[in-house]
Amino acid sequence: ASYAGRLTILQSQQLVEAFTSPALTIPKLSQLMDQFTHDVETETHSKNGWPNTCYGVSKLGIIALTKVLAREYPKMMINSVDPGYCRTDQNDNGGTVDPADGAYTPYLLALMEVE
């Protein structure tokens, strides 16, 4: 996940409600993501309330998927993690977080025992 996927990137209350709906399913989420792709390809995304960031929408989708999976599989531990703005090739090493520090929380979650 990432801070880039926060709900405030959406310019449509209808989209916010769709992504946060307790009735959201994986097929419905897939339809939302496909709609974003279509709207970008037809250059109607801004008019339809989508942001100008594919990266942000992809992270928004991951966060929504995490919530759907957690709801559908309550006996499983389902997580997504924002590692912070890590120094990586993706940002020309301009991040403020050492990659090892960014990896620490996912590492702990992977090893965590379910109670």
Active site residues per annotation: 55
Would residue 58 be called left, alpha or beta, if left means φ above 0 and alpha means ψ between -120 and 50 degrees? alpha
89 C-beta neighbours (distance < 10 Å), count? 6
Task: Report yes or no: 77 and 106 within 8 Å, Cβ to Cβ.
Answer: no
